[in-house]
């Protein structure tokens, strides 16, 4: 099952009690609210898939998004934004900014208009982004480090 269908189902099926009495004499309520503008920074590998993984959950939760793809692979994110616009997604819901990772990425994280930051990439850059976002107490979603280990064996001679 693809990520798209998982996100669509999750957006339609928010489970859990909306309210309940957990402490006698009080009522607790869950209130789901969009955060606003999500700043998302995607890596170079799997550029289309990474863009979709960042965009779909953000807009399904009622947010808008500014995606900064890797400067090495901006084409797929730009084409995806064009397709979304052609499909009727209103202007301003999905936004793509391109540029050098450090300059464009830092500007996105530092912007007071961005309510939350999502970053996929190296641990060292993730720490830097977390430090920048903490100056404004912004929530940060980080996916750091590689998840594709490989094993190297000594070459056998036959």
Q: How confident is the model at residue 158 (pLDDT cuts 50, 70, 90)?
A: low
7: Cβ contacts below 8 Å, ≥ 6 apart: 56, 57, 60
Q: Nearest to residue 119, comparing CAs of 109, 111, 107, 104?
A: 109
- Rounded CA gap, 23 and 16, in Å? 17
Helices (H) and strands (E) in the chain, counts: 5, 7
pLDDT digits (tens, 9 = 90+) for 80-110: 999 999 999 999 999 999 999 899 999 999 9
- Rounded CA gap, 36 and 61, in Å? 10
pLDDT digits (tens, 9 = 90+) for 17-76: 667 777 788 887 777 789 999 999 999 988 999 999 999 999 988 999 999 999 999 999
- Rounded CA gap, 96 and 57, in Å? 16
Q: Nearest to residue 110, comparing CAs of 80, 84, 130?
A: 130
pLDDT at 145: 85
pLDDT at 68: 98
The answer, yes or no, to whether residue 146 has pLDDT greater than 70, is no
59 close to 87: Cβ distance less than 8 angstroms: no
Which CATH class for the 3-11+36-144 domain?
Answer: alpha beta
Domain boundaries, the chain: 3-11+36-144
13 close to 60: Cβ distance less than 8 angstroms: no
The answer, yes or no, to whether residue 3 has pLDDT greater than 60, is no
pLDDT digits (tens, 9 = 90+) for 116-143: 999 999 999 999 999 999 999 999 999 9
- Rounded CA gap, 40 and 58, in Å? 9
């Amino acid at each position: 099952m693809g990520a798209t269908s998982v996100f669509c189902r999750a957006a339609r099926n928010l489970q859990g009690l909306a309210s309940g009495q957990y402490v006698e004499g009080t009522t607790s309520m869950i209130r789901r609210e969009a955060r606003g503008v999500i700043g998302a920074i995607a890596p170079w590998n799997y550029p289309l898939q990474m863009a979709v993984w960042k965009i779909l959950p953000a807009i399904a939760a009622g947010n808008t998004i500014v995606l900064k793809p890797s400067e090495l692979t901006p084409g797929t994110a730009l084409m995806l934004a064009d397709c979304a616009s052609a499909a009727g997604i209103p202007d301003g819901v999905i936004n793509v900014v391109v540029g050098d990772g450090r300059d464009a990425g830092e500007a996105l994280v530092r912007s007071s208009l961005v309510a939350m930051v999502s970053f996929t990439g190296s641990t060292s850059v993730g720490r830097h982004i977390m430090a920048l976002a903490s100056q404004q107490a912004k929530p940060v979603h980080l996916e750091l480090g590689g998840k594709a280990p490989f094993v190297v064996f000594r070459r056998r001679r036959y």
